[in-house]
Amino acid sequence: MKRIILIALLVIPFTMVSNAQIKFGLKAGITSTSITVDDLIVVDDTGLNNLLVKGANSKVGIQGGVMARITILKLYVQPELLFTSTGGEVEVTEYTTGDPITTIEDQQFNKIDIPIMLGYKIGPLRLQAGPIASIVVSNKSILEDYSNYEEEFNGATWGYQVGLGLDVGKKLTIDVKYEGSLSKLADGVNIGGQSFDFDSRSSQTVVSLGYFF
């Protein structure tokens, strides 16, 4: 009996791999990204607040890249390699000698996204979830127009995605996913020689269309 169980444990994985379907494709989509930040209050030498930063509106971005799907029965793994250009808006209030001046500033960044989705197929419908790694390749700081400002973005961040998918025939696939952040975009900022904690995180909704070869 033990030998039979051992043989089964060895044979079943190979059988599943041999029955796996592997295909490759291209993917493109749009994102709606918002940035959540801790309220950042900058205090000058007199002890008065002269700058207040907090989260504002979401922005629409784009993404595109390649994907693969490995399907075994109703389960599948779908790794993707995507270039994403996105960002968000924050509200900046500057306190001067007169009335406070409030403006909406853009936070923009380009990144490489590497999601690995794990899914379950119910006919053409798919349920999916998985981790995502993001590597920031360039960015435009929300406060770069303010003097003596420096923000250190993290080179890589981690998050998660959950969502639904729909396969249209054997070639087309549609995905709607929500992405949340597990790590922050930047550790902090330095303004005028002072260091401030600044926990900024992004979340986004992604709608994409894929085509398998």
Top-level class of domain 21-212 = mainly beta
Of the candidates 116, 121, 201, the one whose C-alpha atom is nearest the C-alpha of residue 161 is: 116
Average pLDDT of the chain to the nearest whole number: 78
What is the value of pTM for the model shown? 0.74
Place 4 in a pLDDT band, splitting at 50, 70 and 90: very low
Predicted confidence (pLDDT) at residue 5 exceeds the cutoff of 50: no
- pLDDT score for 40: 60
**Does the pLDDT value for residue 145 go beyond 80?**
no
Name the helix (H) or strand (E) containing 2.
helix 2-18
Closest of 188, 185, 179 to residue 200, by C-alpha: 185
* Domain range list for the chain: 21-212
CA distance 133 to 131: 7
Give 129 or 145, the one with higher predicted confidence.
129
At residue 136 the predicted structure's pLDDT band, cuts being 50, 70 and 90, is confident
Tens of pLDDT along 186-202? 665 655 555 555 556 67
